[in-house]
Amino acid sequence: MKRETVLKHEFVEYIPNHLKEGTIYISVTFGTVVHKCCCGCGNEVITPLSPTDWKVTFDGESISLYPSIGNWNFDCKSHYWIKNSRVEWDKKRSGKEINSGRHQDYLYKSKYYGKNSLSPDKDITANDRASKSDKLEAKNNFWSRLRSWWC
Ligand SMILES: [Zn+2]
């Protein structure tokens, strides 16, 4: 896998189906910027442009994207900035920090939603029970069908 350091850019109306490595595609029409993850993993990074999402600047020669690109959902977990068509890699952020950040987020959410959430032991309703046994039945049907194909 090759880490990109310099990106080319293309202004397009529609984002092409096959993205070239090391190229950043800007669709002003759809307010979207797409590029392949700069680590070389091949994942496509879609950054919507809006006042609350990403902003792209074009100085006539090069492209900058703000804020940074944090691909936490990809295996590579890469984090970088695109400034003047150059990729600036974040060297400081380790996997441990990412996990603790996620944990914080989880804690915050469970604190926030905790009050209203139902306890699964006490508040289970008849409907819940029914839908659970439906699912089980569907699963059993699936296996028996599979078995009948084999026999
Ligand atoms: Zn990657």
Each residue's pLDDT, cut to its tens digit, for the chain (151 residues) gives 678 899 999 999 999 999 999 999 999 999 999 999 999 999 999 999 999 999 999 999 999 999 999 999 999 999 999 999 999 999 765 555 555 555 555 555 555 555 444 444 444 455 565 666 666 666 677 667 666 666 5
User: Exposed (0-12), middle (13-18) or buried (19+): which is 32, by Cβ within 10 Å?
Assistant: buried
Neighbours of 108 (CB within 10 A): 10
| C-alpha 44 to ligand 1 mean position (Å) | 9
Closest CA to 36 of 19, 11, 54: 19
In this structure, is residue 99 part of a structural domain?
no
Domain assignment of residue 84, yes or no: yes
Distance 12 CA to ligand 1 centre (A): 23
Tell me the CA–centroid distance for residue 88 and ligand 1, in Å.
14
pLDDT of residue 136: 66
**What is the domain count for the chain?**
1
Residue 110 lies in a domain: no
Domain extent, residue 57, equals 8-89
Judge whether 137 lies within some domain: no
Q: How far is the CA of 97 from the centre of ligand 1 (A)?
A: 18
> Is the residue at 139 inside a domain?
no
Type of residue found at 25: Y
| Residue 21 in domain | yes
